[in-house]
């Protein structure tokens, strides 16, 4: 039946149809859906398709923002398990994604999934895949500076809201054991004034940003070690709303530290 259906529907459309059937409240429809899911895996196996080929046929690039919860992704995951078992391989899902997407897109997708997962299961999966990507980078011998470039963070106009800054920082901390290194790297790369300006820039997305908040804390700590005068900090940060908030925070910390 799958061979016949495949002549009339693209794999991505057919997969979503089968998934919908497998979740039907009608028992017979649900049974047929489950059977077709198994047949689809066997059909791809018979054609000896590599998982990255299936990734392309399922057009997962169209679902990149919600990829981990897409029915087509779950089908790809089932096929990958079958592919590894049949070929005695241990190809990871992250390796498959890297063959279908650019490195920075995979990193961004996984970091967004970690932050915005709607349930614990999806978040756990995102963390697992992100750690797989970190392991791949480490095996390739890529250091923090190389990852910074590969994730497009050196490009003009990139803001600290880019999820890849958080992914990069995680990797640097994980591979060096130095939680201050990401901040120190940004300080060295951008300089005091530019980094401070970036950290108080208006945000396109409402709400907190854990990476930016962390870097702001490191900035305050840096200024305290320099015994920066609060009035000098106020001049650096300016009169924007975010600038005033960070200035007030520094004044409070300065007073607590030095009286």
d(CA 10, CA 59): 9
Residue 130 in contact with residue 122, Cβ under 8 Å?
no
The maximal CA–CA distance of the chain, rounded, in angstroms, is 79
| Amino acid 61: pLDDT | 67
| Amino acid 259: pLDDT | 80
For residue 18, give the nearest of 61, 83, 81, 74 by alpha carbon: 74
DSSP 83: H
The percent of residues in the chain predicted with pLDDT above 70, rounded, is 95
Q: Which two tokens stand for residue 212?
A: 């930016």
**Distances in whole angstroms, Cα of residue 53 to Cα of each of 41, 98, 105, 119:** 13, 12, 18, 29
- 112-152 pLDDT, tens digit per residue, is 989 888 889 989 999 999 999 999 999 999 999 999 999 99
| Amino acid 62: pLDDT | 64
Report whether pLDDT(85) > 70.
yes
d(CA 196, CA 149): 21
Please give the average per-residue pLDDT across 88-99, as a whole number. Answer: 95
The structure's pTM equals 0.87
């Amino acid at each position: 039946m799958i061979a016949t259906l495949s002549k009339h529907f693209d794999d991505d459309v057919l997969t979503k149809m089968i998934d919908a059937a497998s979740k039907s409240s009608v028992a017979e429809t649900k049974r047929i859906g489950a059977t077709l899911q198994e047949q689809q895996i066997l059909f791809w196996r018979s054609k000896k398709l590599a998982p990255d080929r299936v990734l392309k046929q399922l057009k997962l690039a169209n679902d990149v923002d919600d990829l981990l919860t897409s029915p087509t992704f779950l089908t790809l995951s089932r096929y990958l398990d079958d592919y590894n078992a049949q070929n005695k391989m241990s190809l990871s899902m992250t390796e498959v994604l890297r063959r279908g997407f650019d490195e920075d897109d995979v990193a961004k997708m996984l970091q967004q999934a970690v932050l915005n997962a709607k349930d614990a299961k999806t978040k756990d999966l995102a963390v697992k895949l992100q750690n797989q990507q970190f392991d791949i980078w480490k095996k390739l011998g890529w250091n923090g500076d190389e990852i910074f470039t590969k994730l497009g963070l050196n490009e003009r106009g990139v803001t600290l809201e880019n999820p890849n800054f958080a992914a990069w920082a995680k990797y640097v901390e994980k591979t060096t054991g130095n939680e201050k290194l990401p901040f120190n790297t940004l300080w060295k790369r951008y300089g005091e004034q530019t980094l401070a300006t970036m950290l108080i820039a208006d945000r396109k997305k409402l709400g907190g940003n854990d990476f930016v908040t962390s870097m702001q804390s490191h900035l305050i700590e840096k200024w305290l070690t320099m015994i920066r005068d609060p009035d000098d900090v106020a001049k650096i940060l300016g009169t924007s709303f975010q600038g005033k908030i960070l200035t007030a925070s520094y004044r409070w910390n300065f007073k607590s530290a030095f009286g």
